[in-house]
Amino acid sequence: MGRKVLVLGEARDGGLRNVSFEAISAASTVADGGEIVAALVGKDVKALSEELIAYGANKVVVTEHEDLAAYTSDGYAQALLAIIESEQPEAIVFGHTALGKDLAPKLAARLDKGLISDVTDVEVGGDQVVFTRPIYSGKAFEKKIMTDAFTFVTIRPNNISPLAKDEGRTGDVEDLNVEIKNLRTVVKEVVRKATQGVDLSEAKVVIAGGRGVKSTEGFGPLKELADVLNGAVGASRGACDADYCDYSLQIGQTGKVVTPDLYIACGISGAIQHLAGMSNSKIIVAINKDPEANIFKVADYGIVGDLFEVVPLLTEEFKKLKV
Ligand code: FAD
């Protein structure tokens, strides 16, 4: 029979965030043979529909508007409410991104529906849809059964693999015009942080530095290693508090949650609040001078040594593998 599931395609800088494809994959499990509808909201975003279809959406509903050029919860909520009204889905999947974390609870509250957030896995058995999500800063996992038809879900990036891209897939693309009115927030200008390269929350490789990095310049060797591995640089709060780097790099309970394939912790002690943001990484490598450092308890590979000796050696070796 199957369910009808709506997914938000998160458009940014003329492209789609990878988590949109992961959301389609999660939706396909929930749909269980039913229909996957992707919502595409913004300005000049319609051209992205084909990619959503190639990743498994059966239909794309596009709402374009001048006032949706930049994200505002007010504007997006109006667009999404109209799409939900017209599509009547049984579940709605967002990425657990800054946007998803803002919008999904707002819509769930507005429609008086449930929200299961930060989901890392979805299974279907019989009539039941079961979502897995970490609790207690990643120390345990809980399973939530979707009891209410019409539930909002946010999925943690980098946990659910997208379906294989197939350019041969076909689907409908429909426009839904929505009158956007009474916006209480107006974006005057978007000022970007001067970060380069790969987005930390979606990176497959993260090289993170802690207080052991000792200075802003100390992040240089980490950046070089990240470049060779096409990864992103992250940090502990210790490094951010010491002003070695920007808080946008902070990983942990009060920072970003990352789940890359490879996490290399350099000069990070492994405080519980840091582990909350990275302990679900697939492979964890820790480099620390102190053999008793807590980070070694969660590491798959531990290197006891000075990061300023070890990191450049790793960079050299990975460079050799690339040629
Ligand atoms: P330290 O604990 O000082 O560790 C530095 C490590 O570097 C040591 O293990 C040392 O052996 C090693 N080292 C030193 N020199 C070298 C070298 N040359 N080579 C190799 N190793 C070396 N922290 C987070 O990270 N993220 C959060 O989101 C977060 N949220 C928090 C929320 C709350 C409410 C609280 C109370 C704390 C939070 N913290 C968070 C802070 C956390 O408790 C730790 O203080 C912080 O993670 C420590 O950072 P660190 O590991 O870089 O520094």
As given in the structure block, the two tokens for residue 206 are 């993260």
Which band of pLDDT confidence, cut at 50, 70 and 90, is reported for residue 137? confident
CA-based torsion, 299, 301, 307, 308: positive or negative:
negative
The DSSP-derived string for 264-310 is EEES----HHHHTTTTT-SEEEEEES-TT-GGGGT-SEEEES-HHHH
Quote the pLDDT of residue 13: 85
pLDDT tens, position by position, 232-274: 999 999 999 999 999 999 999 999 999 999 999 999 999 999 9
pTM for this predicted structure: 0.82
Q: Is any atom of ligand 1 closer than 6 Å to the C-beta of 156?
A: no
> What are the tens digits of pLDDT across the range 44-62?
999 999 999 999 999 999 9
Core vs surface per residue 20-29: b (16+ CB within 10 A) or e? bbbbbbbbbb
| Residue 128 Cα to chain centre, angstroms | 25
- C-alpha 224/C-alpha 205 separation (Å) is 13
pLDDT digits (tens, 9 = 90+) for 218-230: 999 999 999 999 9
Residue 288 or residue 323, greater confidence: 288
75 lines ligand 1 (CB under 6 A): no
pLDDT of the residue at 148:
72
Task: Using the Cα atoms of residue 288, residue 274, residue 265 and residue 119 in order, give the sign of their dihedral.
Answer: positive
Rounded distance between C-alpha atoms, residue 151 and residue 149, angstroms: 6
274 Cα: distance to centroid of ligand 1 (angstroms): 7
Radius of gyration of the chain (CA): 21
Angle, CA of 275, 19 and 124, to the nearest 5°: 85
Q: Is it the case that residue 166 has pLDDT exceeding 90?
A: yes
Ligand 1 pocket residue status of 255, Cβ below 6 Å: yes
Over the stretch 190-222, which tens digit does the pLDDT of each residue have?
887 766 667 888 899 999 999 999 999 999 999
Statement: residue 179 has pLDDT above 90: yes
Task: Report the pLDDT averaged over residues 172-196.
Answer: 88
Is the pLDDT at 16 greater than 80? The verdict is yes
Dist. CA 171–CA 56, nearest whole Å: 9
Q: Is the Cβ atom of 265 under 6 angstroms away from ligand 1?
A: no
133 three-class SS? strand
Choice from 213, 217, 274, 279 to test ligand 1 binding pocket (greatest atom count within 8 A of CB): 274
Ligand 1: residue of 249, 258, 264, 269 to mutate (most ligand atoms within 8 A of CB) is 269
For residue 141, what are its two tokens?
């996992």
Atom of ligand 1 nearest to the CA of 254: 28
For ligand 1, the distance from its centroid to the CA atom of residue 236, given in whole angstroms, is 6
DSSP characters over 53-103: HHTT-SEEEEEE-GGGSS--HHHHHHHHHHHHHHH--SEEEEESSHHHHHH
Q: Which amino acid, one-letter code, is at 186? A: V
Q: What mean pLDDT do residues 155-177 have?
A: 95
Mean pLDDT of the chain: 94
Give me the pLDDT at residue 323, please: 60
